Amino acid sequence: RRSSSSADPMAVKIAMIGAGWVCEARHIPALRRLPHVEIVGIVDPDEARARAVAAKFGIPNFSAATSAAGIPWLAQATAVSISTPPRYHRDWMADCLELGKDVLIEKPVSLSRAETAELDARVQKSGAMVAVMHNNLFTRSAVRARRLIADGALGRVTAVQTRLLNSPRRHLPNWYEALPFGLLYDELSHFLYLGDSLGKNLRVRNATVFPSAQGHATPALATLELQADGFPLAFSLNFESPVCEWHMTIVGEKGLLVHDVFRDILLRLPDDREHRAADHFRTLAVATLGTWGGFVESGWRHLAGKLDFGVGEVMRRFVAACETRQAPERIAWPDALRVFGLLQDSIDELSAAAARK
């Protein structure tokens, strides 16, 4: 494998902020596949963690720190990739913008409208290239779904229905319960930016929330209703399921698409007409064959740990933006602001619903 320290004078030099699982398993491998990229160092509050990840990937510098102050090698970097827990996003992004770095930030960009407004002022002042990790926009399934819609394969889209099922026994970080509505705050952004890619002028209309019986910040169940120009979007978010599934169903006049987000599989189901026995089994055959076809495309990569869920494309676009000074399509700062606004509107509606109970 190519060394992270390439000595390429044309390389975009990137510092990794946060040495957690996302950085180690997604961000660094994606960056190492790109030409003209040099990872100059890694920062984490846990020195042992930073040292271990640096050693694993041959990264020349590491530091244990909670701010950019006092990190001498950080001056080598022209850009940063921030994948700390969300409560640290604002401080690290503000620090790095102040130092003149281009910034890739994990979603959500902050914990409040006020923090994001402050960051926006800093972005406008700095002129930095800023991108957000809206990675699931670039999975094979999501790209294919948008292409089929654009080609008219579904006819007019009439609705989008999303179902998230999460098991509390799933491998999860230890910081999410400190967020507003816990894990919901971190994971809802994925479905908001996917919905945003399918329709224009999304706005939140209504919400319900059923709190955890165990007193967790993450609710047992939450629902959200949104409206785009031309069709509604309905989200059902269950965080106390024994099974984990993330599905988006895009309903059209001629058929529907089922986007299996976890497995990166897209099923295209045609109109089943009068739903007689032959129609029912035809739909079953299409769904079964489509699932196995999707496994051939993506499933084996998932089993082998090689499915990157669009992270590679986000990194490619960010590095290209750093080189060309042209905003990266679909993941630029205005995209981050728009989706963050939807997230905060959703939290406001959920808070109001919780207060009514």
Read off the pTM.
0.94
Query: Using one digit for the tens of pLDDT, what is the confidence trace for 110-124?
Result: 999 999 999 999 999
* Mean of pLDDT values over 347-355: 96
Task: Categorize the per-residue pLDDT at 3 as very low, low, confident or very high, splitting at 50, 70 and 90.
Answer: very low
SS3 per residue for 12-71: EEEEEECCCHHHHHHHHHHHHCCCCEEEEEEEECCHHHHHHHHHHHCCCCEEECCCCCCC
Query: Using one digit for the tens of pLDDT, what is the confidence trace for 334-344?
Result: 999 999 999 99
User: Which pLDDT score is estimated for 328?
Assistant: 97
CB atoms within 10 A of CB 285: 10
User: Which pLDDT score is estimated for 121?
Assistant: 98
Query: Does position 331 have pLDDT exceeding 90, yes or no?
Result: yes
User: Which pLDDT score is estimated for 1?
Assistant: 32
Least confident of 29-43, 130-144, 272-286: 272-286
Task: Categorize the per-residue pLDDT at 9 as very low, low, confident or very high, splitting at 50, 70 and 90.
Answer: low
Higher pLDDT, 221 or 284: 221
